[in-house]
Each structure stands twice: as C-alpha cells, then as structure tokens.
Amino acid sequence: MGPVIAVSLRAAFGLLVAMLLAFVGFFAGWFSSPPGPNLPAPMLIGGAGLGAAVGGLIGWFKPESSGWVKWINLGLVLFGGLAGAWAGWQLGPIIYPEGLYRPGGSIYNAPPFYVSIMGASIGANLLALFFYTFRLWRFREV
C-alpha cells in the first residue's frame, strides 16, 4: 500500500505544480513576445512546456537518486512537457472551435490555450510517472 500512496501523492503534487508553472511559463512567453496582432506560437508553446517540465521535475525529483537517473528524469519531463504543449496546441482549436468568443464562464468554455497548458502538465508528469513506477517496480525505490 505504501508505494501506491507514494506514487499517488507524487502524481497529484506534480500535476498541481506543473499546471501552475505551465500557466506562469505560458504568460511569460505571452508578455515577452513582440507586440502585434499575432503572438508567436513557439514562444507560448515553449513557455508552457518548460514551465510544466520544471513543475514535473519538482514533483518527481528524488535527491538520493544517482546522477544518471536525475538526467533521465530531466529529459523525460522536458520532452513530455514540450510534446504535450504542442499536442494540446494542435487539439485546442478542435476541442474549442469558437475559441475565446464562446460565451459563458465555466470550464467547458475555456479558451483553446487551456488545452495546451493541460497537455503540457499531463505530458511532463505522465512520462515521469512511468519512469518512477518502473524504478519502483524494478529496484524498489520509493
């Protein structure tokens, strides 16, 4: 029961921190982009992906692990965060075709970039979850 609780707590904390930092990274990319009618999508995607990667790394980081495990974890959360942000950016207009012009204030009427932020945080944590679970199963590291 202990490993299940450990994985669940790390997953919940990692998703929470990754979501918060993905929002921060997205808006950092938004505010640092050049002014104009069109925002550069790579800055927004990169900001959300890097923010989610940092959040996922915070959630799944184990200081007592060896150096190569930390580097693999870093690579996985970076790849997962950036790939999830890109996939969410592509799926956002499909899920929310009206975008920001859809009236209402519920979560179901969120703008399309929300899907990118969610994809980034889920992508970063999902790959780290698989790696952590594998190491837990194989080497009994909690």
How many residues are recorded in the chain?
Answer: 142
Token pair recorded at residue 106: 């519920």
The pLDDT assigned to 137 comes to 87
Question: Tens-digit pLDDT profile for the chain (142 aa)?
Answer: 788 898 899 999 999 999 999 999 998 988 888 877 777 888 889 999 999 999 999 999 989 889 999 999 999 999 999 999 999 988 887 877 766 555 554 545 567 788 899 999 999 999 999 999 998 888 877 5
The pLDDT assigned to 95 comes to 79
- Does residue 59 contact residue 13 with C-beta atoms inside 8 Å? yes
Q: Tell me the whole-structure pTM to 2 decimals.
A: 0.85
